[in-house]
Structure 1
Amino acid sequence: MQRLLATVVMLLLWTGVAVSAEPKVLNVFNWSEYVPQTVLDRFTKETGIKVVYTTYESNEAMYAKIKLLRGKGYDIVVPSTYFIDMMRKDGLLAKIDRAKLTNYANLDPRVLHQPFDPQNEFSVPYMWGNTGLMVNRKVVDPATISSWNDLFRPEFKGGVILSDDLRDTFGIALKALGYSVNSTSEAEIKAAYEWLLKLKPSVRVFDVTATKQAFIAEEVKGGMSWNGDAFIAMNENPDLAFVYPKEGLPLWVDSLAIPIGAEHKDNAHKFIDFLLRPDIAKLCVEEYNYSTPNLAAQKILDARHAQSRATSPTDADLKNSEFTNGVGKALDVYEKYWEMLKTAD
């Protein structure tokens, strides 16, 4: 009888362990082309965890799907700046267990503790960057460009590209006028709309998907560009130059987060900690050309990334710049003026 009881106990213990252990799978919902395949393969090789990688093309699309599913179906999402704020307030994100992240200390304090997640309880920075001003040397001397207001110069007429991202585009207008990119004042938002409306005759296109191609092919003369796109474009076309306007610019950070309904939270923490390793963060920067929040990785970047002001901006470059944060109900005001801008003749 004792032997039988011991056998039953052992079977129960074994069953409990088997049930509690997570399956070797991780469901990642991320931007397309944002984690190198070599990195995913290496994670699987080192951990045995298979990565199922699904993509989205906008924060809005990701947010809508996670909200519809109430945080189920995915183990990792990568929202930008103020979308972290929206998702945590909606109860869509699980808290990060910092004790499981051995590489967390590698992160740059400049990127941590932002208003969208003050204690980084729900998010871990992955990549960050800015929306700056790029121009073509065939059109103007970059040394004479120092302000967002320079987009009104006659040389740019008909050849300006603006972002099709509402907050980015209103952000540069607000900065040009001396306001915060996170203004909640309707008067200031209206003033930004009027600034953009005045610029619109010079605008050729609003775009977020093919910005670098437009600059490389010289279809546009100047305008907004994400710093990673700028790095690629400048390497393809040496006539291009990236400028940090004196008024400052919008900053963004894409963060790793775990949906509240994730079924593989332990695997998610392993993946986050893996991406925080300096050697892995280095590979991600050198593949996609955005800035890394990983100070240890910054020290081992190849020379072309370490010396580029697009991927490795200085504190002086970012003077007066701000991370784009949530604006609450004022978002309705932005959307009203955005629609007016896009439909204006």
Structure 2
Amino acid sequence: MKKIVILAIALLLSLATAGLVRAESRTVYVYNWTEYIPEGVIERFTEETGIKVVYTTYESNEAMYAKLKVLDSTGFDVIFPSSYFVSKMGKEGMLMPIDKSKLNNFKNLDDRQLNHSFDPANRYSVPYTWGGTGILVNPEQVGPAPEKWADLWDSRFKGTLLLQDDLREVFGMALKKLGYSLNDTDPEHIREAYEDLVKLMPSVRTFNSDSPKVPFLNEEVYAGMIWNGEAHVAMEEMDSLRFVWPAEGAILWMDCLCIPAGAKNVDEAHAFIDFLLRPDVAATMVREWGYATPNKAAMALLDEATRNDPAIFPPLSVMEKSEFQNDIGEAVTVYEQYWNKLKANQ
């Protein structure tokens, strides 16, 4: 009898130890843009929850999408696609519906930043940050700052420009210059944009969507297109840089938190998303990286100068002329054909 009791106790201790190990080894696999989370946030999340974060980065929506396609939407638990890729991936069954009952901080989001056309009722996505692509310039090197996209075609910028390494961004710029929508699906208009971009290529020094501020800070380029948050950080490090919202309108985007359909650590994914929705974390994102937040509770934590910084929060006059990127459906193949031709002749 005594032997049976000892064995039973040993079994219970073994089960308890196994449960403890499992609890201590909880992990969430995060796939995010480069330099797109405040310093120390991952460490704080692990410290408070005990969940380990395995963090990997990508340079473009296309790269993220291609990898998830190859992996059949497995391998990662949280991703950060932009608005038009949320729509695309949702339609293709690559995203898992968000369980909002597991997100205590969802209530912090501004209603005006929810229920967009790319994901009605936020079935698959939670807003993370939003912003726009405009022009960064060093007037000390190339003269007066450009006022519109069309100014970048001026010969004074020859060999000095940076373009985002992103087909939707680059073609969006050209389409806006031509007076079209950046979501245009007309093959003839896309061809026109391509031919205009060919004329711009002698001025292009590099394509960069990994960390486009770096070539500016290294003085390898003196003007070009850039996300407003990257511009904000760059201007803090180099006084001579200036950011401009182009007169034709900016390229607006919203990056979202999503869970791939094949995610294995679903509870941990929701816990990570909920942590990023905390007002203090969202406010830190604005302060450190200069991107606008959809978190209304976080806005109250920002100082007045930050809330009113036009480089972070585009003014109404800019918003009225700008567009959010949307899914362009099958027309993306036309864009890709011209994009590949453009890059091949770089």
Structures share fold, TM-score greater than 0.5:
yes
1:304, distance to aligned residue in structure 2 (A) = 5.8
The Cα shift of 1:335 comes to 1.2
Deviations 1:141-200 (A, max 9, x none): 33xx32111112333233222222111000011111111111110111111112212222
Aligned pairs for 1:101-140 within 5 A: 101-138=103-140, 139-140=142-143
Deviations along 1:114-154, one digit per CA (max 9) or x if unpaired, are: 33212210011112221101122222333xx3211111233
- For 2:135 and 2:175, locate their aligned partners in 1 and report how far apart those are by CA, in whole Å: 15
Match of 1:27 in 2: 29
Cα deviation for residue 256 of structure 1 reads 0.7
Structure 2 matches for 1:103-252, cutoff 5 A?
Answer: 103-138=105-140, 139-142=142-145, 145-252=146-253
Q: Which amino acid aligns with 1:200?
A: M
Match of 1:73 in 2: 75
Q: Which has the higher helix share?
A: 2
Bigger shift: 57-66 or 329-338? 57-66
Find the counterpart in structure 2 of residue 8 from structure 1: none
Partner of residue 90, structure 1: 92
Aligned residue-pair number: 329
SS of 1:235's equivalent in the other structure is helix
User: Secondary structure of 1:316's partner?
Assistant: helix
Residues in 1 aligned to 2:175 and 2:111: alpha-carbon distance in whole angstroms: 26
Give the Cα separation in 2 of the matches to 1:243 and 1:130: 11
For residues 24-78 of structure 1, what are the alpha-carbon distances to aligned partners after superposition, in whole Å with 9 as ceiling and x for unaligned?
A: 3222222233223521222222222222223333323322232223222322111
Deviations 1:297-341 (A, max 9, x none): 123125664343222222223222111121111111111111222
The alignment's TM-score, normalised by the length of structure 2, stands at 0.86
What percentage of residue pairs aligned between the two structures are identical?
51
Structure 1 gaps of 5+ residues are 1-10
Find the aligned partners of 1:230 and 1:240 in 2 and give their Cα distance.
8
Counterpart for residue 269 of structure 1: 270
Classify 1:32/1:204 alpha carbon distance in 2 versus 1 (closer, same or farther; 3 Å). Answer: closer
> Residues 206 and 35 of structure 1: is their aligned pair in 2 closer, same or farther, counting only changes over 3 Å?
closer
Shift of the 148–279 alpha-carbon distance from structure 1 to 2, 3 Å rule, reads same
Aligned-residue CA RMSD (Å): 2.5
| Residue in 2 that maps onto 1:297 | 298
Q: Secondary structure at the match of 1:51?
A: strand
SS at match of 1:293: coil
Cα offset, 1:236, TM superposition: 1.8
d(CA) in 2 for partners of 1:161 and 1:137?
15
Match of 2:258 in 1: 257
Distance 1:223 1:61 in 2: 22
What secondary structure is seen at the aligned counterpart in 2 of 1:42? helix
Query: Of residues 52, 55, 61 in structure 2, which corresponds to 1:53?
Result: 55
Q: Contact 2:250–2:318 (CA<8 Å) still a contact in 1?
A: no
C-alpha separation in 1, matches of 2:253 and 2:92: 21
Once the two structures are TM-superposed, the CA of residue 219 in structure 1 deviates from its matched residue by 2.5
Residue 339 in structure 1 maps to residue 340 in structure 2: yes
Distance 1:307 1:91, change over 3 A: same
**Paired residue type of 2:298:** A
- 2:59 partner letter: E
Say which SS state the counterpart of residue 70 (structure 2) adopts: helix
Post-superposition Cα deviations, 1:255-285, rounded to whole Å, max 9, x if no partner, equal 1111122222222222211111111111223
Task: Give the corresponding residue for 1:318.
Answer: 319
CA contact (8 A) 1:161 1:222 kept: yes
Secondary structure at the counterpart of residue 129 of structure 1 = strand
